[in-house]
Amino acid sequence: MKSITRFFLSVSSFLGVLLFFFIKSDIDIPFVNRWGWCSPEIALCLKAVIAIIGATVFAKLILKSSVKYLGNEDTIKIKQIKPMEGNYLPIYIGLFVVALDLGDTITMQSIILLILLFILWLFLENTSYFNPFFLCWGYKFYEVVTETKGSMKEGTYTLITKHKDLKSIDSLDQLTRLNNFTFLQYKKP
């Protein structure tokens, strides 16, 4: 179950690109255009709203299942911390531009294969599982340098938490290890 949860975390971190691709593609939502009750512009807006709500709910389910299936870790001692959201913005802008360009010249099978290969790459890498939809639920991403504590060696990790101001905190508990480099603090202590 841990591998499945980590796979869905990888899918989740690629969710923004899938969302843009879904909105731009000709994939039809059956109840929107089937009976011709709305214009193409309204249908596109409904498609976008449905996709955004679906992606946001999927992100929340991934956060909950991560805690349930990956278990808890001990407390970590913080040596240094800084926000990370700005580090991922250029990457996501690049991915969104690519997603908006997909669909015009290559086949749907090629696009699906490309997306699956990218998700597999995210799954096999030690990624930080950055997902912009986690921000909708109040989560922030931090780069944390830890002190040695028990079996936890000093190192740099990604922390996903709802804490707003971590400058005065010297340790964190109730953490779930997503991989060797990423921790999730699901509940705010």
Q: What is the dihedral of CA 182, 8, 66, 136, to 10 degrees?
A: 80
The predicted-structure confidence for 120-162, as pLDDT tens digits, reads as follows 776 666 666 788 888 888 888 888 888 776 656 678 888 888 8
Residue 189 has pLDDT above 60, yes or no: no
pLDDT of residue 134: 86
pLDDT of residue 173: 81
How confident is the model over 5-16, as a mean pLDDT? Answer: 78
Residue 16 has pLDDT above 60, yes or no: yes
pLDDT of residue 55: 85
∠ at Cα 53 (57, 51), nearest 5°?
115
How confident is the model over 56-60, as a mean pLDDT? Answer: 89
CA distance 70 to 84: 23
Note the pTM of the prediction, 2 decimals: 0.74
CA distances from 80 to 12, 72, 131 (A): 28, 22, 23
Contact (CB, 8 A) for 163 and 139: no
Q: Which residues pair with 76 in a beta bridge?
A: 172
Residue 103 has pLDDT above 60, yes or no: no
pLDDT of residue 166: 75
CB atoms within 10 A of CB 19: 21
